Amino acid sequence: MDSHYPDDEGSNARLLAEAKAGSNAPALSVSEISNALKRTVEDRFGHVRVRGELSGVKRAASGHLYFSLKDADAKLDGVMWKGHAGRLSFAPEDGLEIIATGKLTTYAGRSSYQIVADRIELAGEGALMMLFEKLKARLAAEGLFDTARKRPIPYLPRTIGIVTSPTGAVIRDMMHRLEARFPSHVVLWPVLVQGDNAAAQIAAAIRGFADMSTDGPVRRPDLLIVARGGGSIEDLWAFNEEPVVRAVADCPIPVISAVGHETDTTLCDYAADLRAPTPSAAAEMAVPVRLDLAQRIAEAQLRLAGALRRFVERARDRLATQERLLPSAQDIIAERQQRADELGEKLRRGLERRSDIARIAYVGVSARLNPALLRRPLDRQRDRLEAARLNRAWLERKLADGRSRLSAFDRLLTTLHPEAPLLRGFARVTTLTGETIADSQTALQARTLRIKFRDGSVDAAVSGIEPAARATGQRRKPVENGQQEDLFGES
């Protein structure tokens, strides 16, 4: 069977690509086609606004924000760089409907296109309400809105702190109400109540009041009022920001939230200890009416005076009744007075008997105390004293005998003193510790000797011992030229 291979231009059986003459479609690299697509997309869609639902929101460690926008039929990846993401007025979450403003570009690494957003806004009040409900549910789950956390508002605060704008009608209305009801010391912390930096300023003001000292130059308030006039949900959104809600919940000072009109509700209202429908109503809740308070005090004083008067009257009546029932003082002490009289009489008779007994005993003893008997022992003692008086001659004789005996002892001591032979040319041999050596064996054991002369001492080592010479067999050599004879018997 014969084979047939077509060679027309539509054949795909070639192994090698060949450039044909007149062709205007050169082969492009992947990078070239990717860059061409990127320029085309960015030129065509350099500024777009895209509406969609957030999905897969993720904030990288670098601070960049990555997300996807989707609707019922399509999905678009997106990125917002750190510089723009840090200025967002809300926290992007999955499910929020937003409008992203930026430009479309391509990402060659995944052969996809994406929007690089420099601004993200919530798409209408519905998105705001969804974000509001999500944040409310999350903070409520943490217990920030629990009733148990609510603290009572002080009845009459000495100092009131107000966090609001210093230029609006709110602060003027509140000061007017406070002045009319009960003039109080007010400390205003001025803040923005709307805009990008409003939430940060409001939270900082609340924490600033909480950190104030109770004895500083500006006393820490006893009550805080966070206030703002009415507006749309977007205008009031700063009071729904998480930093503000947490600052209100953590504040150690009782807080009244007065944001918007009566129908407006913010998360700050849930976290506060008390919600006021309007700022003016908050001022009325903060202090009582001075005239009403004075009237109540006057009425209380009258009731107190009447109660005291009735109490005293009833006490006086009870005292009179008890007084009639009590016995007289004379009846109470009569028996004890009689007993005291009896004891006094017994004491008098006892003292008299004791005095009589002592007198009789004294008479018996005094009869034996004769002056002549007392003088006789005294005379004997005087005679003994005269006999014991010393004779001067006898004392001088005894003193002379004692002096002679003392001189004899002194001469004997000088003669027998161990140092005396040293004056006659002898030497004294001792150990290094001062023990006298009297024989050769002791000297050999000591090994080192100390020889003391009249004018000093020298140390000597023992090298050997010679036997002592017999008393009858040897004679010492005579001393020649005034030298000392050998004390060790050497010839």
Residue 171 lies in a domain: yes
Read off the pLDDT of residues 367-393 as tens digits, 9 standing for 90 and up.
Answer: 666 677 777 788 888 877 776 666 677
Round the CA-based radius of gyration of the chain to a whole number and report it.
Answer: 63
Q: In terms of domains, do 262 and 155 share one? A: yes
Distance CA 57, CA 266 (A): 25
Phi/psi of residue 30, each to 5°?
-60, -40
What is the Cα 377 distance to its own chain's centre? 89
Say what the pLDDT of residue 391 is.
65
Percent of all residues in the chain with a pLDDT value above 90, rounded to a whole number: 27
Q: In terms of domains, do 223 and 299 share one? A: no
Distance CA 18, CA 333 (A): 147
Q: In terms of domains, do 178 and 213 share one? A: yes
Phi/psi of residue 383, each to 5°?
-65, -40
Q: In terms of domains, do 317 and 434 share one? A: no
Local structure of 10: helix, strand or coil: coil
Say what the pLDDT of residue 125 is.
64
* Residue 140 · residue 269 · CB < 8 Å: no
Q: In terms of domains, do 154 and 110 share one? A: no
The type of residue at 313 is E
pTM of the model: 0.47
191 burial level (CB within 10 Å; 0-12, 13-18, 19+): buried
* Residue 76 · residue 69 · CB < 8 Å: yes
Which residues 6+ apart lie within 8 Å of 313 measured at CB?
A: none
Q: In terms of domains, do 283 and 302 share one? A: no
Say what the pLDDT of residue 173 is.
92
Q: In terms of domains, do 163 and 281 share one? A: yes
Residue 16 lies in a domain: no
Residue 400 lies in a domain: no
Q: In terms of domains, do 270 and 321 share one? A: no
Residue 47 lies in a domain: yes
Distance CA 207, CA 247 (A): 6
Report the domain count for the chain.
4
Q: In terms of domains, do 313 and 269 share one? A: no
Domain enclosing residue 454, as ranges: 420-461
Which residues of the chain fall below pLDDT 50? 1-6, 8-9, 11, 470-476, 478-482, 487-491
Alpha helices in 251-289, H assignment, sequence order: 267-271, 279-286
Distance CA 175, CA 186 (A): 8
Kindly state the helix (H) or strand (E) to which residue 48 belongs, with its residue range.
Answer: strand 48-59
Whose CA is closest to 270, among 129, 93, 155, 137? 137
Residue 401 lies in a domain: no
Q: Could you tell me where the beta strands, DSSP code E, fall in 60-184?
A: 65-70, 75-80, 97-107, 112-122, 159-164
Local structure of 235: helix, strand or coil: coil
Half-sphere exposure of 80 (CA within 13 A, CB side): 24
59 burial level (CB within 10 Å; 0-12, 13-18, 19+): middle
Q: What is the CATH number of the domain that holds 272?
A: 3.40.50.2300
* Residue 225 · residue 258 · CB < 8 Å: yes
Residue 355 lies in a domain: no
Q: In terms of domains, do 197 and 304 share one? A: no
Q: In terms of domains, do 306 and 205 share one? A: no
Say what the pLDDT of residue 246 is.
94
* Residue 184 · residue 159 · CB < 8 Å: yes
Residue 424 lies in a domain: yes
> Which residue among 235, 259, 288 closes a domain?
288
Q: In terms of domains, do 218 and 302 share one? A: no
Token pair 């022992």 is found at 377
Residue 414 lies in a domain: no
Distance CA 134, CA 97 (A): 13
Half-sphere exposure of 325 (CA within 13 A, CB side): 6
